[in-house]
Structure 1
């Protein structure tokens, strides 16, 4: 039996797709020297730290790749560390915390260096992290063969439409990110297709799904209602493929290259869940594929297309 090396086991991580009251999405520009997604635009997130977030099941237990409180705490903590956006509510008033910029900056550094435990600090403030407000929305497992692999649980967080608190995301001083910016999903996709920004498969795929509903200035409540209805629609695909019977909250993606288009772009299929979940009945999306110039060396000019629209060679 072939045994994977320990250093190729996917590292548990959590990430938040933060949507503003005007339905824009927060993206962070990774530094060029980052060990993961260098120079790319990504959602806030990072790897699970057990002493801060809690334990996850040890490999090869497939429960390691399930949504849990640990993944949710990780996603919220990392979002705060990386962008300064604090998704926690005052236990007395029920309102999202509104802290001075100086306090948030100081505590970001303290939490990042593990001098302060995120949940302990919130408890001192009389606040609780927004665990139940996170909407699980796909998991992404880095395919075998890459130097570092991750199992990333993605979440959507919709800031209330009437939210009037601070929303001034910042980079982390250049430690991992050089810029924090919000824009509609379609704008991010257009910039990526033009080569102005670099997106990888998870970011491009999720933005393409959101762009169907979060279309820019207009009736933001109606856009969110349409997105919510679609999120819980079942089946999730138009084909008879088994992935159409997997809710978006439970879908797992481990992309595989399956050929090239007539124009020479590489086609990545989105239905496999990866070797760690083989035989578990899990998977992603058969209907959509991701096109990249070269999967190994570059994800520039990335685009998401419907499978039945393509002619492969």
Structure 2
């Protein structure tokens, strides 16, 4: 990474425009004892940032801008004020967050109305719908309309916003959200972009990263430390309400004389 950055600056290249994206910290109570766990997937080597553990997520799709869908919770204008963008972009970001967590974990944050959440979504018919989304032969709005489901934007809590450093060839402007695993639903190892999935406490993930067992990019590592200071999912949501998810964070790369590469996160 240091060599890549050095080549970038030496060549005087212009940074790539970051693609708007969304990622979701899917939470559940710990399987045993106090605390809670977060869902992580390890990206396959062939995709961007391969080999690292990350939260489910990805870039927004043009179809996420569709307006013909039932929506519960804060409307796009309210999300725009929270995320610091236009209502149109806010809708695409929230839709992308819900769509991506369904595509990459098999969990759907939607329900028959604004007060309920759909149950198990792991049957063959649901898998066919998920595959259609991946192939982009169907949009997320079309899926919700056909299933007569309402997107539950109120199940998301905005946490932060990160922008990939300018020397990376593929850059993302990513909004981070937290969501609780709905009752009756289970995560499934379904993503073609992942070769491993795991539920882990934030503390366990940090320990494995420190031991060199897991690779975590700075946004993931910092976010795990932040939510790890919370006692339970309810505390995560309470903390999210007091955060500013509109101010972008970009990690800074430092290379010591001995060649050690360090990432620093600007103070907020």
Matched, 1:204 2:221: yes
- Are 1:171 and 1:180, in contact at CA under 8 Å, matched by a contact in 2? no
Q: How far apart are the structure 2 equivalents of 1:225 and 1:51?
A: 32
* Residue aligning to 1:224: 233
Q: How far apart are 1:80 and its partner, in Å?
A: 1.0
User: Match of 2:173?
Assistant: 151
Give, in whole Å, the separation in 1 of the partners of 2:89 and 2:141. 19
Residue number among 258, 267, 273 corresponding to 2:262 in the alignment = 267
Q: What's 1:43 paired with?
A: 55
Distance 1:136 1:232, change over 3 A: closer
Cα distance, 1:68 vs structure 2: 0.8
| 1:217-256 matches, cutoff 5 A | 223-233=232-242, 247-256=243-252
Structure 1 residues 78 and 229, CA gap change in structure 2 (3 angstroms): closer
Secondary structure at the residue paired with 1:170? Answer: coil
Larger relative CO (CA 8 A, sep 6+): 1 or 2? 2
Q: Which residue of 2 aligns with 1:243?
A: none
Q: Given the alignment, which residue of 125, 128, 134 partners 2:150?
A: 128
- 5 Å matches for 1:95-174? 95-159=117-181, 163=183, 165-172=184-191
Candidates 178, 190, 196, aligned match of 1:179: 196
Unpaired stretches in structure 2, ≥5 consecutive residues: 1-11, 31-35, 68-83
Q: CA deviation at 1:151?
A: 0.5
* Structure 2 counterpart SS, 1:8: coil
CA contact (8 A) 1:53 1:74 kept: no
Matched, 1:16 2:24: yes
Q: Is the partner of 2:245 in helix, strand or coil?
A: helix
Structure-2 separation of matches of 1:70 and 1:4: 30
TM value normalised by structure 2: 0.78
2:165–2:252 Cα contact (<8 Å) kept: yes
SS at the partner of 1:248? coil
Distance 1:134 1:202 in 2: 19
Structure 2: how far apart are the matches of 1:93 and 1:132? 10
How many corresponding residue pairs?
Answer: 236
Distance 1:82 1:53, change over 3 A: farther
Give CA deviations for 1:187-231 in whole Å, capped at 9, x if unaligned.
1111111111111011111011111124xxxxxxxx234334433
Structure 1 residue 47: Cα displacement? 0.8
Native 8 Å contact 2:106 2:122 kept in 1:
no
Query: CA separation in 2, counterparts of 1:136 and 1:192?
Result: 25
* Structure-2 residue corresponding to 1:307: none
Distance 2:92 2:121 in 1: 25
| Contact 1:16/1:154 (<8 A) preserved | yes
User: Cα offset for 1:44?
Assistant: 0.6
3-state SS of 2:224 partner: helix
Q: Are 1:88 and 2:110 matched, yes or no?
A: yes
Q: Distance in 1 between matches of 2:102 and 2:128?
A: 11
